[in-house]
Amino acid sequence: MQGAQSRSERDRWTFYEAIKLKPNDQGRDMTPRKAMDKSYKKYLAQLKKDPGGFYIFAEPLDESGGHPANFVDYECAFAADHLSQLHPHSILDVGSYRHFILGLLAHLPVTTIDVRSRQPICAKETILTGDAKKINLPDSSFDVVLSLCALEHFGLGRYGDEFDFYADQKAFAEMIRLLKPGGRLIFTTTIHRAEPSIAFNAHRIYTYETIQRFCSALTCVDEKFYNHQNRGFCSLEEITSDLKWWDVYCGCWEKK
């Protein structure tokens, strides 16, 4: 039954009204706009009067306007574009975004490795639990190795892995080892135009020169840069030079 507005509901409305949240980094304004305020209260009262079998409570949000997008969208789009051109038979994923992998599994079998254990929820996924710097698989096993937003985290302990300053270099060497000749390594990571940094224990921030050294045994097929401020792909010269901040590198490289 719908009675008078509860204290928790009143408090929640007061909270949203009081804090006046600013647009977040995805361009969404979570605060009800003034134009919406009157209609929100009107329709909330209407629903409470005639709830149609539902329990009605206040949770005011305004996510109108342009569809939100951030760096993850651009990373995943970069990877998806290259994967669609390749039609690989075998894919190894090293620590990428889980939802991207679940979407990929709708089309292709994927072997995944993560330091944190989990149970498979899709028949097309082969799960390996372990450290990416030492993967117990034979050389030249995969057409594609995929790693989105993972390299910069290896060896810093954030995800329960052991501390190893060189874990990123070791893991990258493993990815190359596991690629078949002519195979593609698709990866994304942090980048800026300052000296290499570690925001311990969140992540490393690389320079373009560091990334180039990682890939010295490979041939570049494509690379792009994402700038947070402009919310889109940009030139290398447009990425941040802030020592404590980062933009995103997206690269597709071929094993010689």
- Does residue 217 or residue 8 have the better pLDDT? 217
What digits encode the pLDDT tens for the residues 113-163?
999 999 888 999 999 999 999 999 999 999 999 999 999 999 999 999 999
Shared domain check, 80 and 21: no
pLDDT at 38: 80
Shared domain check, 221 and 138: yes
How many domains is the chain built from? Answer: 2
SS3 sequence of the chain:
CCCCCCHHHHHHHHHHHHHCCCCCCCCCCCCCCHHHHHHHHHHHHHHHHCCCCCCCCCCCCCCCCCCCCCHHHHHHHHHHHHHHHHCCCCEEEECCCHHHHHHHCCCCCEEEEECCCCCCCCCCEEEEECCCCCCCCCCCCEEEEEEECCHHHCCCCCCCCCCCCCHHHHHHHHHHHHEEEEEEEEEEEEECCCCCEEECCCEEEECHHHHHHHCCCEEEEEEEEEECCCCEEECHHHCCCCCCCCEEEEEEEEEC
Peptide bond into 201 cis (omega under 30): yes
Backbone φ and ψ for 240, nearest 5 degrees, come out as -65, 150
From 67, 93, 124, the end of a domain falls on 67
Distance CA 61, CA 70 (A): 20
pLDDT at 67: 87
Shared domain check, 174 and 91: yes
Place of tokens 């990815």: 175
CA-CA distances (angstroms) from residue 182 to 133, 147, 178, 179, 185? 22, 18, 12, 8, 10
Shared domain check, 160 and 112: yes
Q: pLDDT band for 22, please (50, 70, 90 cuts).
A: very low
- Residue 15: pLDDT above 50? no
Q: Which residues of 168-200 are buried (b: 16+ CB within 10 A; e: fewer)?
A: bbebbebbbebbbeebbbbbbbbbbebeebeee
From 49, 67, 85, the end of a domain falls on 67
**Residue range of the domain that includes 30:** 1-67
Shared domain check, 195 and 216: yes
Q: What average pLDDT does the segment 170-184 reach?
A: 98
Shared domain check, 107 and 22: no
Q: What average pLDDT does the segment 42-50 reach?
A: 95
Dihedral sign from CA coordinates of 235, 239, 233, 205 = positive
Shared domain check, 152 and 43: no
Measured in whole angstroms, the distance separating CA 172 from the mean position of its chain's CA atoms is 19
